[in-house]
Amino acid sequence: MLFSILLMSQANAGEDMKVRPLFVPMFGSFSYRVSDEYSADTSQATYRGMRVGAAAGVKYKSKQKGLARALPNLMGKTRVLGTYTLGSEAVITDVHVGTFIGPKFGPLKLEIGADGIWTQTQISGLPTKATDPYMSFAIPARAIFDIKVAKLELSAAPMYFLGGERAKVDWTNQAVKGIGHEMQYGISARAGLGPIGVGLSYGFRVTEYGTDGLIGIGVGL
C-alpha cells in the first residue's frame, strides 16, 4: 500500500511512468553448510546440488517533468520468485512475493522493499522446527550501479518470522554479523544490450541451523 501511494503521488507530481515485463529464469549451484551445533545429527555437514527457479513480474521507472525535475527519478519492481533444489539430500523450496522502489541518481540506484517469503528446508537429522515450512517478512535494501551495458548490485535483507517455533539466529556466534531473525546477503553483476541480459550472482542466507549459499546464472528480460 505504501509503495502504491508513493507511485500515485509521483505520477500526480508530473512524471512519465514506464512499465515493462520482468521474467528471469535462473539456475545455479548451492551449498548448505549445517551449523556445528546440529552437524553431528545429520548425515553430512555440507550439502551440495543444483537450484532452479524463475522471477516474474513488472519493473517500472519514472522520468520527472517540468518543475518536478528537481526530484529524483524513481525505479522499482514487483515480482514473484520461486526456487527449488535438485540433486541433493537437502531439499529447499523458497517462494518470494515482494515490491521494491527507490530513487535514481545518475547511474546509482537505491532501493528498499517489502518481501513475503515462504520457505521449507528438508534435511534429515535436523529438528522438526528447522524443517517445518515457515513464513517470514524481509526488508531488502539494495545499492545498484547501472551504466546500461553493465550493472552491479549489492543487497542485504533482514528477515523476521511470522509466528512458529523456528530458532532465531544468535548473532554473537556468527562469523558474519547481521540483524533480524535470519538475514540474506547478495552480490550480482549483469551485462547486456537493451532489455535482455545475462547475470551472475552470489548470495547466502544465515540461519540458526546452517548457511544456505548460492552461485547462480540468470538470463532474461
Whether 11 has a pLDDT exceeding 60, the answer reads: no
Q: How far apart are CA 13 and CA 69, in angstroms?
A: 10
Which of the four pLDDT bands, split at 50, 70 and 90, describes residue 67? low
pLDDT > 70? residue 1? no
Residue 204 has phi, psi (to 5 degrees) of: -155, 150
| pLDDT recorded at residue 10 | 47
Cβ 188 vs Cβ 201: under 8 Å: yes
Cell reading at 173: 556466534
Choose the CATH number for 2-6+22-220 among 3.90.1010, 2.40.128, 3.20.20, 2.60.40.
2.40.128
Average pLDDT over residues 124-128: 90
Structure-derived torsion over alpha carbons of residues 119, 158, 142, 58, reported in degrees to the nearest 10:
40
d(CA 73, CA 189): 22
Q: Parallel, antiparallel, or unpaired: how do β-strands 150-161 and 46-64 relate?
A: unpaired
Q: How much is the pLDDT for 2?
A: 47
**Percent of the chain beyond pLDDT 90?**
69
Identify the band that residue 120 occupies on the pLDDT scale cut at 50, 70 and 90.
very high
pLDDT at 69 over 90: no
**Residue 9 pLDDT greater than 60, yes or no:** no
pLDDT of residue 221: 65
The pLDDT tens digits of the residues spanning 141-171 come to 999 999 888 999 999 999 999 988 999 999 9
- Chain segment 26-38, per-residue pLDDT in tens: 999 999 999 988 9
Contact of 108 with 134, CB cutoff 8 Å: no
Identify which of 214, 217, 216, 202 has the alpha carbon closest to the alpha carbon of residue 32: 214
Res. 66: pLDDT tops 70: no
Amino acid symbol at 95: V
Q: Which residues pair with 161 in a beta bridge?
A: 136
Ranges of each domain in the chain: 2-6+22-220
219 — pLDDT class (breaks 50, 70, 90):
confident
